Amino acid sequence: MSAGRLWKIFRLNVKQMYSRWFLALIAFIFATSFMASASARRPENYSSLFAGLGSVALLLAISGPFGSLSLVKSEVDFVFSTPADPLVVYIAKTAASAVLPLFLLAAYTAPLPRPDAASYAEYAASLIFDTAFFALMAGASSLVPIHRRILYAAPPIAVAAATLVRPELSPLYGLVHPSPAYVAYSGAAAALAFLATPRGHLDELAANAYGVLAPHGVLAPPGLGGAARVAGPARIGPTPWRAVWTTSVNGAVRMRLGGPRGGLVVLRRVNAFKVILPLSAASAAVYYLVLRYLPRADFLVTFASFSYVSVFSFQYAGSTVASDRLWLSVAAEPARYFRLRMLARAAIAAISLAPWAAVYALESLSYPPAAYLVPAVAALALTLPAASWLAAAYSGLPQMRELGLSQSQFRFTLRIALASFLYLIFAVSLSVPYFLSFASLNAPASTPLLRPAADVTSAASLALSAAFFYLTTYSPWASSIWSWFVNKLSEDGYV
């Protein structure tokens, strides 16, 4: 394929992924952050810089498997029906998805002073290679089956961990201290990420995305009766609550049998607690082990852990609306359906976040400010169910239909920027009692004032979260809220 055709595919993906106003907002934020921090960056502050850079890398590593590079229906029906090379399409789409990682990495490191032109060239090369590494690993992990995504997420997580613990061992070190050695290091990481591209899976998607071309010898599971069917349907139950609870807990996961170059596509029912709860417990256990190795509890480490829990819980909870079916869910008694659905989602959120509440309670025995994150987790469980769905509808999340294929490419717009900003403010507001308690710990003279303030703000945030939960479930205004929700999804093509 010619470079011109590759450029056209790249431009098409950029136009599909980002609105012009969103790109303009990114450019404005980058310009203002550059001017604000160009004179503030000093070598003595580089330790905090590496902490921020490692946090950004961890954010990219964890969000990669759930990124925006998943296959969409238009590509299956139109792009892959042409002679276009699937690998070239994948490269162009990966390059388009690299806009946000490029911005995040550059926002931290571009304002740093460089001694000469060669250093700027080395920095630019390292920035391109590091961005390519994260984009390629995210693209590969979002395409492969769920059980293989952990393998693709491991290298970016290792890079993030090295940046936080021993920056000189990370390829991101070259963004702060450019050198030919780190350019080669970053280039090697990007090359390995490219070699890890699941080419067989790409060829399969191009020829058999719907999973209807079963090769000889591939048999469907017992009782499936053919390709492209739901395997192991869940028992719904005799009552509306049982039906809503069962469909909330048991999600359909798209799986392929008989790969890597052909096979049946089936949807298996997977209990969410078998996936989410072990991941939550494992991450909480890792966090607690990290605390044990620290000389003392760290303010930023604890706050960062709660921030990550808040962000990724919100991201996952919002993505589940894409699998909802309006024609079935709201066919009768829509107000009752949404009330039961929010109750079920709140219960799932509370159970899934329980390990983090427990680890914060355990941490509070030696670090008292962490105790205020326990009610913050409870407030999170009360607000996540409705807030995440409403934000997803406002942002224009496309529906998943026809064996888990998204109907269109997820598009970054000013709406998603506004929704993300508002949720960030909410997550920070839940941490205010923690901030006040930490301040009282470091300023004993202010303890009589700050400790009651922490108690009051903690109780207020929990009460406001409970009020929001009531507003979206049992209040007289709940029906109006969900009526807007249904209308918005219908406008976006949900059926």
Residue-wise pLDDT for 58-113, tens only, equals 888 877 666 545 667 777 666 666 677 778 888 888 888 888 888 888 887 887 77
- 217 conformational bin, left if phi > 0, alpha if psi -120 to 50, beta if neither: left
Q: Tell me how crowded residue 323 is: count the other CB atoms within 10 A of its CB.
A: 13
Phi, psi of 250 (to 5 degrees): -100, 105
Residue 22 has pLDDT above 80, yes or no: yes
Burial classification of residue 420, based on how many CB atoms lie within 10 Å of its CB (0-12 exposed, 13-18 middle, 19 or more buried) = middle
Q: How many CA atoms lie within 13 A of 60 on its CB side?
A: 32
pLDDT score of 258: 52
Q: Of how many residues is the chain composed?
A: 495
Res. 222 pLDDT band, cuts 50 70 90: very low
Contact 372, 454 (CB under 8 A): yes
pLDDT in tens, 311-331: 889 988 888 888 787 777 776
Residue 345 has pLDDT above 70, yes or no: yes
pLDDT score of 357: 95
pLDDT score of 45: 59
Question: Cα–Cα distances in Å, from 35 out to 30, 114, 230?
Answer: 9, 16, 55
pLDDT averaged over every residue in the chain: 81
Its sign, for the CA torsion 218, 222, 225, 227, is negative
Its sign, for the CA torsion 60, 377, 314, 272, is positive
What residue ranges in 376-495 does DSSP mark as E strands? Answer: 400-401, 405-406
DSSP H/E element including 372: none
What residue ranges in 245-288 does DSSP mark as E strands? Answer: 250-257, 264-271
Does the N-terminal peptide bond of residue 433 adopt cis geometry, omega within 30 degrees of 0? Answer: no
What does the pLDDT average to over 12-38? 77
- Please give the biggest Cα pair distance in the chain: 77
DSSP H/E element including 231: strand 229-231
Helix and strand numbers, DSSP H then E, in the chain: 21, 5
pTM: 0.82
pLDDT score of 185: 95
Of 114-118, 212-216, 364-368, the poorest mean pLDDT is in 212-216
| Secondary structure (3-state) at 234 | coil
What does the pLDDT average to over 461-473? 94
Res. 266 pLDDT band, cuts 50 70 90: low
Say which residue, 296 or 491, is predicted with more confidence. Answer: 491
Residue 242 has pLDDT above 50, yes or no: yes
Res. 25 pLDDT band, cuts 50 70 90: confident
